[in-house]
Copies of this chain bind each other. A is one copy, B any other.
Amino acid sequence: MLHAKVLRLPTIKRLPTYLHILKRLEQEGHEFVSTTALINELDFKPILVRKDLVLMGIPGKPRMGYCLKDLIAAIESFLGWNKTDEAFLIGAGSLGQALMGHKPFEENGLKIIAGFDADPAKTGQTIHGKKIFPMDKLPELVRRMGVRVAIITVPWQEAQKIADLLVEAGIWGIWNFSMVKLKTPPEVVCHNENLSSGLAVFSVRLRKMHQ
């Protein structure tokens, strides 16, 4: 069994891409994949792919490659995606709604089961099959449903208040899209996401190529 500390952050970030391609190959009826075939489907440096695969601890078979089933199971187990966490999403704006409808999350261990919003026009609605509740129901529902994970997609001005509510109600993990650093106790995992990071890399690559 692999431990999280064995793998570096860049490897962890590449795992979902491997998983997506391996599952596609499995659906197409393949049982094995060679490293070369996998590299051809990927935009990562071949040397990185080879190293990442070795770290998964699955022995490849000569002339066959990796058993897809085993490799998929190893990656899912490493990421904890063989179990599913139920999550609440707070802030059903355009980004929040997109995350609620983003199917890969549900396939990858994170099932958003309801949304919350301060806007009375939104509460009571069902978006991508998930109901939107008013904010004041949040602490009660976190406790009653035993939800441990939350996604914050509210404007940054509101985010700390929401985080405080969530932590008090018993949330363990916050995936924070609000662009502000949240103060949370050390036992709560707070992971900050900034969608503009990808745009930054894209922009720099564009300028380099077309100055």
Q: Shortest distance in angstroms between A56's beta carbon and chain B's nearest beta carbon? A: 14
Partner of A104, one of B190, B195, B206: B195
Tell me the bound Cα distance from A201 to B199 in angstroms. 19
Partner of A201, one of B13, B43, B109, B179: B13
Q: Is the CB of B149 within 8 A of A206?
A: yes
Q: Is the CB of B199 within 8 A of A105?
A: yes
Closest Cβ neighbor of A14 among chain B residues: B197
Partner of A196, one of B24, B97, B104, B191: B104
Would you list which residues of chain A between 1 and 35 have a CB under 8 Å from chain B? 4-5, 7, 9, 12-17, 20, 24
Chain B residues with CB under 8 A of A206: 80, 85, 149, 172-173, 189
Chain B residues with CB under 8 A of A172: 206, 209-210
Q: Shortest distance in angstroms between A39's beta carbon and chain B's nearest beta carbon? A: 10
Chain B residues with CB under 8 A of A110: 199, 203
Is A207 part of the contact surface with B, judged by Cβ < 8 Å?
Answer: yes
Would you list which residues of chain A between 71 and 118 have a CB under 8 Å from chain B? 78-81, 85, 93-95, 97-102, 104-105, 108-110
Please list 14 pairs of residues, one from A and one from B, whose beta carbons are closer than 8 Å in the complex, sorted by A's number: A4-B204, A13-B197, A13-B201, A41-B181, A79-B207, A80-B206, A81-B203, A104-B196, A108-B196, A108-B203, A173-B205, A173-B206, A187-B209, A189-B205
Q: Which residues of A contact B (CB under 8 A)?
A: 4-5, 7, 9, 12-17, 20, 24, 41-43, 78-81, 85, 93-95, 97-102, 104-105, 108-110, 128, 148-149, 156, 172-173, 175, 179-181, 187, 189-210
